[in-house]
Amino acid sequence: MLTWRIRFAAIGLIAFCLASSMGCGTSAPSFFITPSAVLLSPEQTFKFNVGRIEGAAGGKSEPVLLVNGVVGGSPSSGTITPAGSYTAPTTASGQPIEISVQGQPTSATVTVFDPASFTSGSIAATQNPLVASYSMTVPAATPVQVQFGLDTSYGLSTSGVSNQTGGEVTILVAGMRAGTTYHMQAVASLFNGSQLLGSDQTFTTGTIPADRIPNITAQTFGGGTPSPGVELFSLFPDEAGNLLSAVATDLEGNVIWYYDLESDSVAFSIKPLPNGHMLLDAYPIGAAGIQTTGVDEIREIDLAGNVIQRVSTTSVNNALPAIAKFQIGSFHHDVAALPNGHLILLANYAKTINNVPGIPDGTLVVGDALIDWDPQRGPVWAWSAFDHLSLLHAPYGVADWTHANAVVYSPDDGNLILSMRNQNWVVKIDYRDGAGDGNILWRLGPDGDFILPEQQAPIEWNYGQHYPTIVSPNSSGVFSLMLFNNGNNRLMDNNNDVCGTPGVGACYSSVPIFQLDESSKTATVLWEENLLPAYSVCCGDALVLPSGKFEFDVAFDVNTPNVSYIEEVTPTQDLVWKMDIQDQLAYRGFRIPSLYPDQVWTASAMAAPRRVASHPAHRRGAAEGSRWVLGQLP
């Protein structure tokens, strides 16, 4: 009888162990469940990751999932499928819910969010006086936007920010003028399509020292309404001073965002990223645009100015020997962000040349390099102009031989388009997403691979160009390319007479759109804004706006010394809007929809007091002495 009692007791203990979520006699867990905690809306479904711990005992048995100790759960605590898909109950009890694996010590906690007790978040200042930090708690995968403006009609909005497991989210609110009180309201979009609105709160931005604010003014003309958006700038100083360099303004010239670089650095380039951050080249520079020995690095920053990632010339050079035989001297002009998260770094380096006909032995030549930088692995592909171009093609000499100023990714074929100012060429390079051999596939410009119609050549070729952009849906085959054609040493006729030569005609800048046929190697100018008499000897950019209008930065017009200006025109070339930047060189200035990639801000929503230009700075005027040093211009 005693033996049977012992047997029944053992059977009972085994049954208890199987039913209990704590298990019995388990020496080590066999399964895991992640994440360890989630916050969900009522009836929201969330997929837990349940798997076997590598090397754990247990054979091929499948985990049995429990909700508050019940296999599969119940309506009051929520239900879970064998695959780990949990659905929260219809109401929030205020008590945590445990998700566990039968017989295992591992577990996760679910908290059900109560919409009725939703509270607004908190607002705090950041290191940038024009940027606020808005924090609040929301359920998993619930996008939160902050709408803001000068009153409770708001009008402006951030992108949505969410937390995949629920909990606190933080939204950086940027796009506000200095010394101004703004109203803010959070909007949380729940999974079921409903929205929760926070209460109205206010935030007053800080101030910017007056001696650091760029001298920017704007005017609207009779050609229509300016296109939506804000202007993003890369500004260079003309003299000693500490004016802001990486700046965004509204269309009336008010600073609404900036990144505070070191006093000896400028933003050689800056561009928005799809994730809402900014990508820039922090370039060390002294008086009159001369490079110094300061830190030269590429930075990804958030809107508050926090550095997310940085790549220095030192870090690149330490890793380059694994894939290349050169060491770079500096980053410059541009950096391209690829869809896979890599960066294409544009750099230059000097090389001593010997045994090249026409070039004295020992000549030091500066050429360009491209490096594909994987943030996880470092450099994975490299290209050097010295390996793919002839030193005998040097329209401006070999001291600054190629002087590239922009690199563009071609998504259709995975290749790279590179603008080389001192070659008078835009080239396409065989990159093929890192599998290419770097050969030059074509060269656009005088003495290149394309043919222009007789009536367009040679005057319409690109000379000293900047900032090519692809303006057609495709980027290979037959496609369209826009650029700012500075016009340096433009050939004016079939006799190859150079602009500026007496009796030939003045040099001028233009903004063409080329249609390129990569197969037939033919090029045609589809549209062009002739800026005559404007002649910008360096810098600048051009783009087609979503509205169909065109915008271009005339950075260094010899007719308007110490004033850069940006113009928006209609397709019929009527002037719509103009912005003047005085005492700083606007190396680049271009329209972006807003400071958030998925938001479009209108001028009326920004509602800034109008700043009327105090100086004309149009395309006419006698050239005067410029304080910018031509030899150091980008």
pLDDT tens-digit series, residues 314-365: 999 999 999 999 999 999 999 999 999 999 999 999 999 999 999 999 999 9
Cβ(556)–Cβ(537) below 8 Å: yes
Tokens matching residue 372 = 């594909």
Q: For residue 17, is pLDDT > 90?
A: no
207-261 pLDDT tens trace? 999 999 999 999 999 878 999 999 999 999 876 568 999 999 999 999 999 999 9
Neighbours of 567 (CB within 10 A): 22
- Do 517 and 603 sit in the same domain of this protein? yes
89 and 140 share one domain:
no
Domain end among 204, 230, 263: 204
Question: Do residues 301 and 399 share a domain?
Answer: yes
| C-beta separation of 530 from 510 below 8 A | yes
Percent of the chain predicted with pLDDT > 90: 83
The average pLDDT across 278-289 equals: 76
User: Which residue from 327, 470, 357, 463 is spatially nearest to 403, judged by alpha carbons?
Assistant: 463
Clarify whether residues 106 and 151 are in a common domain.
no
Nearest residue to 48 via CA among 101, 79, 21, 85: 85
489 and 559 fall within a common domain: yes
**How far apart, in whole angstroms, are the C-alpha atoms of residue 451 and residue 59?**
70
For residues 310 and 307, what is the distance between their CA atoms, to the nearest angstrom?
Answer: 7
Residue 543 CA: distances (Å) to CA of 415, 425, 475 = 21, 19, 15
DSSP 610: P
The answer to whether residues 450 and 440 touch, using CB atoms and an 8 Å cutoff, is: no
Mean pLDDT of 504-516: 97
Q: Is it the case that residue 625 has pLDDT exceeding 60?
A: no
Query: Does 147 lie in the same domain as 90?
Result: no
Provide the domain limits for residue 523.
210-632
User: When comparing pLDDT for 287 and 428, which is higher?
Assistant: 428
184 is written with which tokens? 């803010």
- Residues 103 and 136 placed together within one structural domain of the fold: no
Tokens of 329: 């001297």
| Structure tokens that stand for 490 in this block | 């433009």
Looking from the CA of 599 toward its CB, the CA atoms found within 13 Å total 23
Q: Give the H or E element holding residue 525.
A: strand 522-530
b vs e for 367-379, b when ≥16 Cβ sit within 10 Å of the residue's Cβ? Answer: bbbbbbbeeeebb
Q: Which two tokens stand for residue 448?
A: 């290149």
pLDDT at 612: 38
| pLDDT for position 8 | 33
CATH of the domain at 130: 2.60.40.10
Whole-number percent of the chain with pLDDT over 70 = 88
d(CA 251, CA 255): 10
Contact 327, 317 (CB under 8 A): yes
Instruction: Give every CB contact of residue 370 below 8 A, 6+ residues apart in sequence.
Output: 344, 345, 346, 347, 382, 383, 407, 416, 418, 429
Tell me how far apart the alpha carbons of residues 535 and 537 are, in angstroms, rounded to a whole number: 6
pLDDT for position 509: 98
For residue range 84-133, list pLDDT tens digits in order.
Answer: 999 999 999 889 999 999 999 999 999 999 998 888 899 999 999 999 99
Q: Is 221 found in the same domain as 100?
A: no
Tokens 């972006």 belong to residue: 592
For residues 184 and 233, membership in a common domain is answered with no
Do 126 and 100 lie in one domain? The reply is no
* pLDDT for position 285: 77
Residues 440, 428: Cα–Cα separation, whole Å: 6
Q: Which residue among 110, 144, 178 closes a domain?
A: 110
In this structure, are strands 425-429 and 255-259 parallel, antiparallel, or unpaired?
A: unpaired
Residues 31-45 as b/e (b if ≥16 CB within 10 A, e otherwise) read bbbeeeebbbbbebb
| pLDDT of 59 higher than 80 | no
The answer to whether residues 569 and 208 touch, using CB atoms and an 8 Å cutoff, is: no
Please state, in angstroms and rounded to a whole number, the distance separating the CA atoms of residues 296 and 286: 13
Distance in angstroms (rounded) separating the CA atoms of residues 432 and 377 = 19
Report how far apart, in Å, the C-alpha atoms of 285 and of each of 232, 351, 584 are. Answer: 20, 23, 14
Does residue 608 or residue 75 have the better pLDDT? 75
Would you say residue 615 has pLDDT above 50?
Answer: no
Asked whether residue 6 carries a pLDDT value surpassing 70, the answer given is: no
End position of a domain, from candidates 159, 178, 204: 204
Cross-strand bridge partners of residue 270: 280
Half-sphere exposure of 39 (CA within 13 A, CB side): 18
The CA–CA distances, whole Å, from 509 to 357, 424, 464 equal 34, 14, 10
On whether both 124 and 171 belong to a single domain, the answer is yes
Q: Which residues contact 70 (CB under 8 A, 6 or more apart)?
A: 77
pLDDT tens figures, 231-246: 999 999 876 568 999 9
First-to-last CA distance in the chain?
Answer: 99
Q: How confident is the model at residue 571 (pLDDT cuts 50, 70, 90)?
A: very high
Looking up residue 101, the CATH number of its domain turns out to be 2.60.40
CATH of the domain at 303: 2.130.10
State how many domains the chain has: 3
Q: Containing H/E element for 383?
A: strand 378-384
Question: Are residues 275 and 296 part of one domain?
Answer: yes
